[in-house]
Structures are given as C-alpha cells and as structure tokens.
Amino acid sequence: MPGMEGELVVKGEQSTPLYFIAIEGVIGVGKTSLAKRLADYLGGCLLLEQVEENPFLQHFYQDRRAYAFQTQIFFLLCRYRQQREFLQRDLFRGPVVSDYMFQKDRVFANINLSDSELDMYNQIFTLMERDQPRPDRVIFLRATVDTLLDRISKRDREYEKEMDPEYLETLAEAYTYFFAHYTGAPVMVVNSNELDFRRDLSLVSDLWKAVIEHRAGTAVYNPPSD
C-alpha cells in the first residue's frame, strides 16, 4: 500500500496525507474505469457520479437549449449533496477516489446556459462551493474526439447514441482551458488514447507513483515505454 492507516503519504521534507483524489475529463474518456481501478489499488473508497439518475439528461441531448438549465441544476444539487454526505462519512476511513470534482460543474454551465440562466446558476454555485472539499490531487484524462465517440458507442447508453461530435470538441476545449487555469490542487494530465487502465494494473501503479510525486502546478504523465 502507498500509505499507512488510511493515509496516502507523500514522502519528502513535508509529508502530506492525501485523502481525496479526483479524476476528470470529457464524457467517455474513461474516468469511471480509472477511478475503480485506482480505488481498488489503493484500498480506498469509491465515489461515482450519479449520471443516469438525472431525469432531464435524455431530453438534454435531444434539445440542449431547451433542457440545459434543468439538467445543470439537477446535477449541481446532486453533486453537492453526494459529495457532502459521502466525504463527511468516509474521509477519515481512508482515501477517496472520485470520478468527478464539484468545481468542474461550471464547465458545462458556461457552455450550455444563457446569460440570465448563468447568472442565477453562479449565485447558487458560489454558495454551494463553500462547503465542498477540494481534491488533494486531480488526474485529468484527455482523448481525441474519435476515441471518445468510439468509447461512448461501446458503452451503449441510449441517451448518448447520437452524441454530437462538435459538442464533444467544445467540451474538450473547455476542459483543457479549465485545467490550464486550475490552481486548487496539483493536476496530472494523462493522454488516454492508447492507455487501458482496466487491463494493465502496472499502468495504475505507475500513474499513482507519478501523481504522488507531483507537488504543484500541472504535469503530463508519460507512461513507461515498452
């Protein structure tokens, strides 16, 4: 285990326990798969976003403009409630690995909401964000739009079957911009096009080593060469 007694310790002159690791990226990039593998590797708790519980999501993909606000607010409230309840209960039982972070909620809001909707959303978000824990480390997964579409197709969710490639491209650019300016925690950027964390446990352990050794700013993960 990388840590002791439920703590993931970064070794160095000032050792710091890591409790909360967030994995982020665009739809279909592999967040949940990596979160499950990493939580298992660390013997930690797994926090997964409750995407399919959103009753507006299918309508959103059919008409983004008409259902953007309802979809966004449902996700915001769900993420707020889930993270507060889960992390208050499990933060001291060991590391928590999540396949999302609360702070990224604004990425979707800025893309999909009108100016008046965004103003109301921002007021709510600002109040809620105060009570949300920030991750100790962020793993930001990236992939090409072709890779994303292929993975989305393979998981065969009904509401994602007609995913707009231009929307995915817009999301990818927004995520890249967000994490280029994110300063809340060290960020490890991972190009996931050719990596399969589900099948190769050595990749998980190697990535984790790189994550805990990265102390500040943004770095790019380079997998071991064959």
Q: 99 catalytic, yes or no?
A: yes
Given 99, 105, 119, 156, the catalytic residue: 99
Neighbouring residues of 177: CB distance < 8 A, sequence distance ≥ 6: none
Neighbouring residues of 113: CB distance < 8 A, sequence distance ≥ 6: 68, 69, 72, 121
Q: What residues are labeled active site?
A: 99
